């Protein structure tokens, strides 16, 4: 834990903290509402493999409010491919009924033991950076701002619990850890629902442990959250949410998935 605090905020003297009570390190979203435990960022990889991710919620967000589940369902699927030489790949499938979105994501190769912020983006060219794309980050890494040109702005934060708005875009205590996977039913706005039906959504997963030391660290700072290391927000995997005539199980082939720029 002490090493994790130093990795995030250089110069913190953790010797002054009581051993029995270690406060959470606050990482504020745009509305100042989100927190993250100090042991999830800048912390060494725990012994024994990945820690369990928070259980995925199947409640709407907010629960039931504004949900319009009627009408014919729209099926969506994305083939997630690696960015920044992350080695990550996977599949996302979703069913949209009205503005009620049920989504599942299975990804393999994400940095183990670390949280991975993930979002639905809308805008840009509805495509993803190429696997070998070079960005403006340290060592040529594709930063969040680089990817935004093609994936667009954050429309939905795919958190495991609670708020799913862009305000929770880096609520690191509410995103899956490693390859834990994701399943949740949430309420999106009518505008976002219409854009998803038009095939304009892109799923982007973040978090690249570039030096493979089991933590998010380094001198370079995030271009969207300067209080965080750049590795937290650099793109790890990405894919376009294309419409499908039938449901596709997680792990299936996504026709018309992630594009390149």
Instruction: Compute the distance between CA of residue 138 and CA of residue 208 in angstroms, rounded to an integer.
Output: 12
Mean pLDDT in residue range 168-172: 97
27-36, 52-61, 105-114 — which is least confidently predicted? 27-36
pTM of the model as a whole: 0.72
Domain residue ranges in the chain: 2-244
Give 127's pLDDT tier (boundaries 50, 70, 90).
very high
Give 44's pLDDT tier (boundaries 50, 70, 90).
very low
**pLDDT tens string 1-13:** 333 433 433 333 3
Report the pLDDT value the prediction gives residue 248, as an integer from 0 to 100: 79
Residue among 233, 258, 251, 260 at smallest CA distance from 118: 233
Strand 89-97, strand 100-108: pairing: antiparallel
3-state helix/strand/coil string of 26-74: ECCCCCCCCEECCCCCCCCCCCCCCCCCCCCCCCCCCCCCCCCCCCCCE
């Amino acid at each position: 834990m002490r090493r994790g605090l130093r990795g995030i905020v250089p110069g913190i003297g953790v010797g002054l903290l009581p051993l029995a009570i270690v406060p959470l390190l606050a990482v504020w979203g745009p509305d100042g509402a989100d927190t993250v435990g100090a042991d999830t960022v800048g912390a060494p990889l725990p012994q024994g493999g990945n820690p369990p991710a928070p259980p995925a919620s199947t409640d709407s967000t907010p629960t039931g409010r504004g949900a319009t589940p009627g009408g014919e369902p729209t099926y969506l699927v994305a083939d997630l491919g690696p960015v920044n030489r992350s080695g990550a790949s996977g599949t996302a499938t979703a069913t949209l009924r009205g503005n009620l979105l049920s989504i599942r994501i299975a990804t393999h190769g994400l940095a183990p033991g670390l949280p991975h912020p993930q979002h639905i983006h809308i805008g840009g060219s509805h495509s993803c950076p190429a696997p070998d794309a070079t960005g403006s980050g340290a060592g040529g890494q594709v930063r969040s701002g680089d990817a935004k040109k093609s994936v667009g702005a954050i429309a939905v934060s795919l958190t495991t619990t609670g708020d799913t708005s862009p305000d929770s875009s880096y609520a690191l205590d509410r995103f899956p850890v490693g390859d834990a996977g994701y399943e949740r039913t949430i309420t999106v706005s009518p505008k976002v629902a219409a854009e998803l039906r038009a095939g304009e959504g892109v799923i982007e997963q973040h978090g690249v442990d570039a030096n493979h030391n089991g933590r998010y660290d380094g001198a370079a700072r995030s271009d969207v959250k300067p209080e965080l290391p750049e590795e937290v927000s650099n793109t790890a995997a990405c894919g376009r949410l294309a419409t499908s005539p039938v449901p596709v199980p997680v792990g299936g082939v996504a026709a018309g998935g992630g594009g390149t720029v």
